[in-house]
Amino acid sequence: MVVGVKLGFAVKVLGEPLKEADLRRAASGPSLAQSLTYLGEIFDYLERRNLGMYRMSSDLAKYMTHPDYPEFHDQLPQNAERLSELGGRARRAGLRVSFHPSQYILLNSPSDDVTARSIADLDWQARVLDMMGLGPEAVVVLHLGGEYGEHDSARARFVERFERLNESIRRRLVIENDDVSFSVADCLWVHERTGLRIVFDNLHHAAVNPEGMAEGEALRACLGTWPEGQKPKIHFASPATQFQLIEKREGKKKRVEQRAPSRWTSHSDFVDPFAFLRFLEHRPGRDFDVMLEAKAKDLAAIALRDFLRKRGVEVE
DNA sequence: CGATGTCAAGGAATC
DNA sequence: GATTCCTTGACATCG
């Protein structure tokens, strides 16, 4: 069986000693030019390994929006040519890239300041994809944000804030169900009011689903938010079940305790391949891409691909 | 060179 | 109201 699924991974390459971004402190100067050199090397690697999907580091342009470093705020135009080249390479290689901003990026915060700073980050990430010349399948994936004690008003605030965003962000933004506050049903509520596409996350859905939507139903509903002619994508992860090591300091001594996981939504090293095969049975007529969220990163994508191949399932 | 401290940022849970 | 967890290195500095 051939399935039209690309397997992707997030940010860091473990298969070779490559860097994903220039992570030095601000005193070392602007980072984007160096990060784009690294990104080119990662693209080389992806082509060699035939990996078709990759999430770029949110630190590609570290300090780009930091208020203390206005001298770094101009890095996009300064690197326009390199961005365009890298985007051309991605298009020719059929490489699907994305961003997934960090926990600090919150559109629905009650604080206007937090929201304004978040929008500044969304803005540069959307513009990077624009300047790379990528199509609408290259997206910026965001959660709905915090609840702030009132789920429904927090959800509504996301919609209000979305409507005020600039064109570039609105085109690139997609939403994902999270592991604490907002379910697939919440994302669908937002979709109905904004048209935003939804990235289904299986592990988050297992954790947060007060409406009791069946997994296959939730998956199909999310895929249905992507327009005809665009390939949807989802996140897939398996829960980490190993002991957690807890370091306790007692004066000068350190003691290490072990305990069961405190949360069941932490990512395992590799994706459970049997769970993935079962999950594929939900697949409707339509193809979609799969971003694996696993600590072993590219190694997890390659391992899953090899497993599937032995089972007679050929991914794209 | 090995050990230790630091990093822009938020939110939720707990005390 | 303050602290800790979440999660996580990589970088920077200290001894």
Tell me the pLDDT tens digit for each residue of A64-75: 999 889 999 999
What letter represents residue A177's amino acid? N
pLDDT-based confidence at residue A250 (cuts at 50, 70, 90): low
The tokens 């002619």 sit on which residue? A229
Q: Considering chain A, what percentage of its residues have pLDDT values greater than 90?
A: 86
pLDDT tens for A194-249 read 999 999 999 999 999 999 999 999 999 999 999 999 999 999 999 998 887 776 65
pLDDT tens for A3-48 read 889 999 999 999 999 999 999 999 889 999 999 999 999 999 999 9
Closest CA relative to residue A5, chosen from A263, A284, A255, A299: A284
The gap between A118 CA and B8 C1' (Å) is: 12
The answer to whether the beta carbons of residues A292 and A51 sit under 8 Å apart is: no
Which pLDDT belongs to residue A316? 83
A28 touches strand C (CB under 7 A): yes
The answer to whether the beta carbons of residues A189 and A162 sit under 8 Å apart is: no
The answer to whether the beta carbons of residues A256 and A247 sit under 8 Å apart is: yes
This prediction has a pTM of 0.96
In window 83-112 of A, residues with CB < 7 A from nucleic chain B are 102-106, 109-111
Nucleotides of B under 7 A from a protein CB: 7-13
A12 touches strand C (CB under 7 A): yes
Closest CA relative to residue A79, chosen from A59, A98, A61, A56: A61
- Mean pLDDT, residues A123-152: 96
A266 touches strand C (CB under 7 A): yes
A66 touches strand B (CB under 7 A): yes
pLDDT tens for A262-279 read 888 999 999 999 999 999
Q: In this complex, which residue's CA is closest to the C1' atom of nucleotide B13?
A: A180
The gap between A111 CA and B9 C1' (Å) is: 13
The gap between A81 CA and B3 C1' (Å) is: 43
pLDDT-based confidence at residue A254 (cuts at 50, 70, 90): low
A116 touches strand B (CB under 7 A): no
The tokens 């910026």 sit on which residue? A140
pLDDT tens for A3-13 read 889 999 999 99
Judged by C1' against the alpha carbon of A293, the nearest nucleotide is: C7
